[in-house]
Amino acid sequence: MKSTKFYNVKGMHCASCAHIIERTVKKIDGVNSIVVNSGTEKALIDLDENKTSVDILNQKLTPLGYTILNTRAHDDTSLSADKDLHAEHLNMHQTKKEKLTEINELKRKIYAALPLAVFSIFIMSWEIFAKYNWIPPIPETFYNFAHHLLPLFATYIFVTIGKPYILGVYRFFRYGKANMDTLIGLGTSVAFIYSFIIASFEKILGSYIDVTYTYYDVAIVVITFITLGKYLEARSKLKTGDAIEKLLDLQAKTALVLRDKKEIEIPIAHVQREDIVIIKPGQKIPTDGIVIEGSSFVDESMITGEPMPIEKNIGARVVAGTINTTGTFNFTTKKVGSETLLANIIKMVEEAQESKAPIQALADKISSIFVPIVLILAIIAVIAWLYFGIPTLGFSTALSFALTSFVGMLIIACPCALGLATPTAIIVGVGKGAREGILIKDAATLEALHTADVVVVDKTGTITEGKPRFTKIDNKSTYTDHEIISILATLESRSEHPIAHAIVQYAQEQNITLKNMSQFAAMKGKGLSGVIDGTEYIAGNIRIASDLQLSFDTRHLDEETHSGKTPILLANKNELFAIIYVADPIKPEVIETVRELHKRKKTVVMLTGDNKNTAEYIAKIVGIDQVIAEVTPEDKLHVIKDFQDKGHVVVMAGDGVNDAPALAQAHVGIAMSTGTDVAIASAGITLLGGDISKIVKAVDLSAMTMHGIKQNLFWAFIYNVIGIPLAAGAFYPVFGWLLSPVFAGFAMAMSSVSVISNSLRIKTKKL
């Protein structure tokens, strides 16, 4: 049985760890694919459960220091209809609890190591300053005391706090797998063992090398700095993924339901479809449903990003996680558990945070070969120092510099920052988008959005409110207006188009009775037909008249469409009966949105199946650059392709139904969703609430996130581009510069912290 799930991974610290896990697991029979994200410490694994299992995977991974945790996953089969959010909440809290335990353990180690490191830095600094005669030399009694104390400190630090790094060295020699711990372990082990040999055989070795200086302080301070960096990194990473936790916190724990005419409070997991739920002032709405009694205003800001409460009357939809304000109402549950909007948002956000952006490919490729290359370079540096240094500096000094270079290179070159540069920014960016009602399907979409130069928008439901109203009828037949509306509403009653709703609603308002219809058929992009009272009627746009070769005076039609009204023709194969006009109000935020897109150098194109005159009228009002009207859904697809063939990066925003082919073809598809009746995964980005102004916010979020990623990658690379040659001694012949392993350890630890801190800045920026 095939299973695709997300799993937490324990023991992963860097991008090299991710590559080790991927390479190891891919070789196991039954594993179809695996993608590991070092930023979130999770793995997406596609496996055949008939051939392998998590336990089998762990048999290979545990000796390498990693464990896959078999927690609840986001595949369709693992989500129960009523308990999945509750399970996810528990899983999230359990994961957080484990992270906090890990953080507290690191904190305990730091408290134990920091005084020893401070003492070592004090002695080290005194020796350096005294060397340049800036301060008096260390008194001999105190020097001897420190000389015997530092080995004890180093031994404690090395065998307790440094245990993970020693294991990293062991696994390297045992299994040939090298990661961040391997580099630190090798560097500090060389420093400690060399110092131990010097201290143990001081008199014997004194004739050959300088035995006055050891590297115990390096082992102490480097391990302490690295552990401090891990602590700060873990604390920061805990903050990057809080978007999902906040979404989970929206879920109500219980619901007040009406059963057998009694009000009973039950756990949310026991709520069933078609239950009647009673909502009182201040309560969270537990599931998705439809109001059947009462009215109120509901705060949907945590779902849609909209600050103003929305009025809910009988027939209105409500969604889980939103908060009732003042009134009381009852609603019938329609979606529970994994079916609710909140559950789908959480799933979409988590999957987007786990995905990889294309820009990460370079970092991943470098990280996969980084550790072995650094090991080779460090060995070359040692050989070079000994080969070129002994004739000019002497054996003792050359050996000292060789060891300093070897240790410094291994420590500063750890690829943690490189592996964290992209995923941490993606996690924060996707989470920020979710809080603004901008749901992003994957990291690739987020990366592509800000590069788009053409924004194509549908008219109905995107530019306009999508709630047309009947305005007038131009009757060209012997039928009464009442009969025309009855026939047209009967045809339109089978359609889901907003214009159809407008006609049907008008018929209801006028108490016009619908007729019986047979042989209904939809003509894609044109209209629909049906047989009523033995006559076949056809309703649709102006193309209907052309197809039927019906001629009529178009002057009145042109006047109405030039004023923004949309015509619907009612005819049969021989005669045009009437033209009915509807008008759809323009959304108030559209004009400002188009203006802001222009500021960002985006060309805005309206692509609609509506009448050309109507579309041009609306485009002129809102400032749209180009209008392409009277097109079918297939035509929209070809228009998008034409823009792409000309070298444009295209964003398409539509309602996610009729525009589905164009949304799929565009580099970035944006679905305008009310947050209740549209599948939120139907496009690369979904704007909850159908607010077009969020397109601008989404573009800004994309630019902001990508800018953060590029900054992160720059700093991650610059640490190594400058640090590795400096540690190797490449600048020593000219400038006399040689990087101390202590400073290398501090720089390595701070590189990861700086990358995560820079990613967290995205949270604070205003969209």
Average pLDDT, the chain: 85
Is residue 183 a contact partner of residue 166, using CB atoms and an 8 Å limit? no
Residue 749: CA count within 13 A, CB half-sphere: 20
Instruction: Please state, in angstroms and rounded to a whole number, the distance separating the CA atoms of residues 690 and 463.
Output: 10
**Pair 52, 164 in one domain:** no
CA Rg value for the chain: 34
Instruction: Please state, in angstroms and rounded to a whole number, the distance separating the CA atoms of residues 339 and 574.
Output: 48
**Pair 122, 19 in one domain:** no
Q: For position 63, which CATH number holds? A: 3.30.70.100
pLDDT at 75 over 50: no
Is residue 352 a contact partner of residue 443, using CB atoms and an 8 Å limit? yes
Coil vs helix vs strand at 623:
coil
Nearest to 41, CA basis, from 18, 64, 19, 24: 18
Domain termination residue (choose one: 583, 601, 630): 583
Catalytic residue among 181, 217, 442, 458: 458
With respect to residue 349, please indicate whether it lies within any of the assigned structural domains. no
| Structural tokens at position 577 | 């009966």
Tens digits of residue pLDDT in 689-725: 788 999 999 999 999 999 999 999 888 888 888 888 9
Task: Provide mean pLDDT across the span 440-463.
Answer: 91
Task: Provide mean pLDDT across the span 157-181.
Answer: 89
Nearest to 381, CA basis, from 416, 349, 407: 407
Best-predicted range by mean pLDDT (118-127, 353-362, 651-660, 706-715): 706-715
Express as a percent the part of the chain with pLDDT over 70. 94
Q: How many CB atoms lie within 10 A of CB 477?
A: 13
Coil vs helix vs strand at 468:
coil
With respect to residue 310, please indicate whether it lies within any of the assigned structural domains. yes
Sheet order of strands, 685-688 included: 438-440, 685-688, 668-673, 650-654, 454-457, 603-607, 626-628
Task: Provide mean pLDDT across the span 210-216.
Answer: 77
Q: For position 281, which CATH number holds? A: 2.70.150.10
**Pair 503, 544 in one domain:** yes
Instruction: Please state, in angstroms and rounded to a whole number, the distance separating the CA atoms of residues 670 and 663.
Output: 7
Task: Provide mean pLDDT across the span 210-228.
Answer: 84
Label residue 415 by pLDDT band (50, 70, 90). low
**Pair 157, 233 in one domain:** yes
Nearest to 598, CA basis, from 695, 703, 673: 695
Instruction: Please state, in angstroms and rounded to a whole number, the distance separating the CA atoms of residues 376 and 382.
Output: 10
C-alpha 401: how far from chain center: 46
**Pair 185, 104 in one domain:** yes
Which pLDDT does position 621 carry in this prediction? 92
Instruction: Please state, in angstroms and rounded to a whole number, the distance separating the CA atoms of residues 189 and 198.
Output: 14
Q: How many CB atoms lie within 10 A of CB 139?
A: 9
Which pLDDT does position 525 carry in this prediction? 72
Task: Provide mean pLDDT across the span 595-616.
Answer: 92
Which pLDDT does position 641 carry in this prediction? 94
- In terms of pLDDT, which residue wins out, 349 or 149? 149
Tens digits of residue pLDDT in 576-594: 999 999 988 999 999 999 9
Is residue 726 a contact partner of residue 395, using CB atoms and an 8 Å limit? no
**Pair 609, 712 in one domain:** no
Is residue 409 a contact partner of residue 374, using CB atoms and an 8 Å limit? yes
Which pLDDT does position 92 carry in this prediction? 66
Instruction: Please state, in angstroms and rounded to a whole number, the distance separating the CA atoms of residues 494 and 521.
Output: 9
Instruction: Please state, in angstroms and rounded to a whole number, the distance separating the CA atoms of residues 96 and 311.
Output: 37
Is residue 532 a contact partner of residue 490, using CB atoms and an 8 Å limit? yes
**Pair 596, 693 in one domain:** yes
With respect to residue 307, please indicate whether it lies within any of the assigned structural domains. yes
Tens digits of residue pLDDT in 22-60: 989 999 999 998 988 877 788 889 888 889 999 999 999
Any residues with CB less than 8 A from the CB of 153 and at least 6 apart, and which? Answer: 116, 119, 120, 216, 220
Residue 656 lies in domain: 437-464+586-703
Environment class of 391 (CB within 10 Å of its CB; exposed 0-12, middle 13-18, buried 19+) = exposed
Which pLDDT does position 71 carry in this prediction? 55
**Pair 104, 189 in one domain:** yes
Lowest model confidence (mean pLDDT) among 59-68, 251-260, 746-755, 757-766: 746-755
**Pair 602, 458 in one domain:** yes
Which pLDDT does position 140 carry in this prediction? 83
Task: Provide mean pLDDT across the span 356-373.
Answer: 78
Coil vs helix vs strand at 652:
strand
Instruction: Please state, in angstroms and rounded to a whole number, the distance separating the CA atoms of residues 313 and 99.
Output: 44
Lowest model confidence (mean pLDDT) among 520-529, 677-686, 709-718: 677-686
Q: For position 610, which CATH number holds? A: 3.40.50.1000
Please give the backbone phi and psi of residue 418, each rounded to the nearest 5 degrees, phi first: -65, -40
Q: 614: which DSSP letter?
A: H
pLDDT at 682 over 60: no
**Pair 112, 221 in one domain:** yes
Which pLDDT does position 82 carry in this prediction? 41
Nearest to 268, CA basis, from 251, 283, 282: 251
Please give the backbone phi and psi of residue 636, each rounded to the nearest 5 degrees, phi first: -60, -40
Coil vs helix vs strand at 62:
helix
**Pair 67, 132 in one domain:** no
Is residue 342 a contact partner of residue 248, using CB atoms and an 8 Å limit? no
Is residue 9 a contact partner of residue 43, using CB atoms and an 8 Å limit? yes
Q: How far is CA 210 from CA 53, 138, 189, in A?
A: 56, 18, 20
Lowest model confidence (mean pLDDT) among 52-66, 176-190, 666-680: 666-680
**Pair 597, 578 in one domain:** no
With respect to residue 393, please indicate whether it lies within any of the assigned structural domains. yes
Nearest to 60, CA basis, from 25, 108, 31: 25
Q: For position 485, which CATH number holds? A: 3.40.1110.10
With respect to residue 91, please indicate whether it lies within any of the assigned structural domains. no
Any residues with CB less than 8 A from the CB of 558 and at least 6 apart, and which? Answer: 613
With respect to residue 432, please indicate whether it lies within any of the assigned structural domains. no
Tens digits of residue pLDDT in 242-301: 667 777 778 888 999 998 888 999 988 889 999 999 999 999 999 999 999 999 999 887
Q: What length is written for the chain?
A: 767
Q: Is 458 a catalytic residue?
A: yes
With respect to residue 83, please indicate whether it lies within any of the assigned structural domains. no
Label residue 88 by pLDDT band (50, 70, 90). low
Number of domains in the chain: 5
Domain termination residue (choose one: 78, 112, 135): 78
Beta strands in 151-267 (DSSP E): 254-259, 262-267
With respect to residue 487, please indicate whether it lies within any of the assigned structural domains. yes
Residue 667 backbone zone (phi > 0: left; psi -120 to 50: alpha; other: beta): alpha
Which pLDDT does position 697 carry in this prediction? 95
Pairing of strands 650-654, 668-673: parallel
Is residue 221 a contact partner of residue 110, using CB atoms and an 8 Å limit? no
Domain termination residue (choose one: 703, 721, 751): 703
Instruction: Please state, in angstroms and rounded to a whole number, the distance separating the CA atoms of residues 17 and 22.
Output: 9
Task: Provide mean pLDDT across the span 231-241.
Answer: 76
